[in-house]
């Protein structure tokens, strides 16, 4: 896979991208402050570069075949011993859509649910 570059044509080490993503996913505002051009302490990937990593697939209900295919292709199963091929995939994800209402008093979310059926 080719290394991704940002607007400035810079290439970033995968660990830097992961570190930046962890900050950005926790607080986009904090990341923007740290990565701002006025902050001359450290040059970090542009937010658009991080979004390319975040949006590498189209989210949908249920299993994502493109993600499963990516996991299988990058795991190089043909080079592993049989005992190394045992794995467990755990899914625990929710995506809240716009248009639903959160009642502060009761803490309930009111809206539509897609059960993937």
C-alpha–C-alpha distance, residues 115 and 110, integer Å: 15
Q: What confidence tens digit (pLDDT) does each residue in 14-53 have?
A: 899 999 999 998 999 999 988 888 877 788 999 999 988 8
Q: What confidence tens digit (pLDDT) does each residue in 45-98 have?
A: 999 999 888 877 666 666 778 878 888 888 888 888 988 888 777 766 565 555
Q: What is the pLDDT of residue 78?
A: 86
Alpha-carbon distances, residue 21 vs 9, 10, 59 (angstroms) = 19, 17, 18
The first and second tokens of residue 40, run together, are: 């001359």
Could you give the 3-state DSSP secondary structure of residue 14?
helix
Alpha-carbon distances, residue 86 vs 33, 37, 72, 75 (angstroms) = 43, 46, 12, 12
Question: What's the pTM?
Answer: 0.49
Nearest residue to 61 via CA among 91, 41, 98: 91
φ and ψ of 110, to 5 deg: -115, 130
C-alpha–C-alpha distance, residues 6 and 18, integer Å: 15
Say yes or no to pLDDT of 5 above 70.
no
């Amino acid at each position: 896979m080719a290394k991704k570059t940002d607007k400035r044509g810079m290439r970033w080490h995968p660990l830097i991208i992961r570190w930046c993503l962890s900050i950005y996913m926790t607080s986009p505002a904090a990341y923007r402050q740290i990565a701002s051009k006025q902050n001359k302490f450290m040059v970090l990937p542009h937010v658009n570069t991080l979004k390319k990593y975040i949006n590498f697939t189209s989210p949908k209900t249920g299993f994502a075949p493109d993600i499963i295919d990516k996991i299988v292709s990058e795991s190089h199963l043909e080079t592993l011993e049989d005992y190394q091929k045992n794995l467990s995939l755990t899914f625990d994800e929710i995506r809240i859509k716009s248009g639903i209402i959160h009642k502060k008093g009761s803490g309930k979310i009111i809206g539509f649910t897609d059960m993937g059926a």
